[in-house]
Amino acid sequence: MRLDTDPYLERYAARVQGMSASEIRALFSVASRPEIVSFAGGMPNTASLDLEAVEHVVAQLVREEGATALQYGGGQGRVELRELIVEVMRHEGVPAHADDLVMTVGGQQALELIAKCFVDPGDIVIAEGPTYVGGIGALSSHQADVRQVEMDADGMRVDLLEQLLTDLAAQGREPKFVYTVPNHQNPAGVSMSVERRHRLAELAVSHDLLLLEDNPYGLLDFDGRTWPSLRELVPDRVIYVGTMSKTFAPGVRTGWVAAPAPVRDKLILLREAADLCPASFTQMLVERWLTTQPWQDQVKRFRTVYHERAEVMLRALEDEMPEGVEWTVPAGGFYIWLTVPAGIDTSDLLAKAIQHRVAYVPGRGFYADGTGGQQMRLCFSYPPIDRIREGIVRLGELLHTELELVQAVYGGQIPDARERRPDEPGPQLGG
């Protein structure tokens, strides 16, 4: 996998201020060189998949049901697969019925269809800050006005959400929905506390809110724990998005959305207009994976793989980062969110980082309003484990040098590069 074909990375990069598309392309073309340790692309470690099992499954599929696997299918997705997905959801305690589900091209298509279904230009959608860049992409492509609520180690600051809702109501406005990634969030690497989930569910009822719960990483808690889903707490007010991309493989582009019946029916129509139907071939491959293979063992293996990598990265950060650098401590998922001291801009720093043979995603990609200049996302899931420390050492050296430069130029008068707005009430996550 070459870095320059990583859609996450290109999309993040496109949001980095002050760089043209061709500069970004040139940069990532360089970043794809093997000597560079990349913490940029948010990719699962497909090398840890049992490929022999996949080969067996796929050959058997073509042999036994090839003509069907290669044919068109229904727009909602195969009922056989939807029934199996209900079982997958049950592993996290998320209630669903096969009729509730619409299969999508990864979780991303679910976000796109939901945006198309609900968002007219200028409509407000509330999200976490930072949030998944693909969520911002889908919402922005329908000209949503994305407002972000800051996070801390316990996830979205639901108190600030409540305040925002009050402020909006005073202006006679209300959001179309609230988008959240409650488990091992991309990019923040934190999860929403149980207390806040309950508080958010209460707010949904009291403020007549629709919640969009996006859960790609819920089964990837390092210790196998699960949290109550919002869908469990207030089922009628939640559109839930899931994916096989992180528990099996993104290359099969198999996600789903569970929604109340009227929304589900609309999503099926939009899905048919978008691309007729999910690929029968990959749907049936996933069906066989879930029925004939020990898929939960594979998930456990992924957890171990990611836990080990996270530990290595966290130890290296402790050892190598200069004073003033802060980061989140993930309990699952793929990501660490790192905040550098004032005076350093992570967008500006990226070219130098790549010269130092290490890559990351600048924080601005995860905000709709251009904040995030002091943050970066480090992904530990994809690089080979023995290269993680090497990459962090390089990043640490670079940050040491930069901080010396900042001190030399500004002395004690370091400007705040975080672009915090005057009305922001508290410290940002990692800030």
Q: At closest approach, how far in Å is the CB of 218 from a copy of itself?
A: 19
Q: At closest approach, how far in Å is the CB of 362 from a copy of itself?
A: 18
Q: At closest approach, how far in Å is the CB of 306 from a copy of itself?
A: 16
Kind of pairing between the strands at 358-359 and 238-243: unpaired
Q: Is 11 in the site for a copy of itself (CB under 8 A)?
A: yes
Closer CB to a copy of itself, residue 7 or residue 322?
A: 7
Give yes or no for a contact between 431 and 418, defined as CB atoms under 8 angstroms apart. yes
Q: Which of residues 227-256 bind a copy of itself (CB under 8 A)?
A: 245, 249-253
Give yes or no for a contact between 266 and 272, defined as CB atoms under 8 angstroms apart. no
Q: At closest approach, how far in Å is the CB of 257 from a copy of itself?
A: 13
261, burial (CB in 10 Å: exposed 0-12, middle 13-18, buried 19+) = exposed
Q: At closest approach, how far in Å is the CB of 57 from a copy of itself?
A: 9
HSE of 54, CA atoms in CB hemisphere, 13 A:
13
Residue 152 amino acid letter: D
Q: Is 281 in the site for a copy of itself (CB under 8 A)?
A: yes
What CA–CA distances, in Å, run from 22 to 14, 19, 28, 350, 363? 10, 8, 10, 15, 20
Neighbours of 266 (CB within 10 A): 17
Kind of pairing between the strands at 145-152 and 124-129: parallel
The tokens describing 205, both together, are: 């009822």
Count interface residues toward a copy of itself (CB under 8 A).
Answer: 67
Considering only the stretches 54-62, 84-92, 225-233, 393-401, report the one whose residues sit in contact with a copy of itself under the rule CB under 8 A. Answer: 54-62
Q: Which of residues 64-123 bind a copy of itself (CB under 8 A)?
A: 66-75, 78, 104-106, 108-109, 112, 116
Q: Find, among 70, 85, 383, 48, the residue nearest to 244 by Cα.
A: 85
Among 44, 216, 363, 365, binds a copy of itself (CB under 8 A): 44
Q: At closest approach, how far in Å is the CB of 308 from a copy of itself?
A: 18
Q: Which of residues 130-169 bind a copy of itself (CB under 8 A)?
A: 134, 137-138, 140-141
Q: At closest approach, how far in Å is the CB of 271 from a copy of itself?
A: 9
Contacting residues for 336 by C-beta, under 8 A, at least 6 apart: 189, 310, 313, 314, 317, 327, 328, 329, 330, 377, 378, 380
- Summarize as ranges the residues that interact with a copy of itself (CB under 8 A): 1, 4-8, 10-11, 14, 21, 41, 43-44, 46-47, 49, 51, 54-55, 58-59, 62-63, 66-75, 78, 104-106, 108-109, 112, 116, 134, 137-138, 140-141, 245, 249-253, 265, 269-270, 272-282, 285
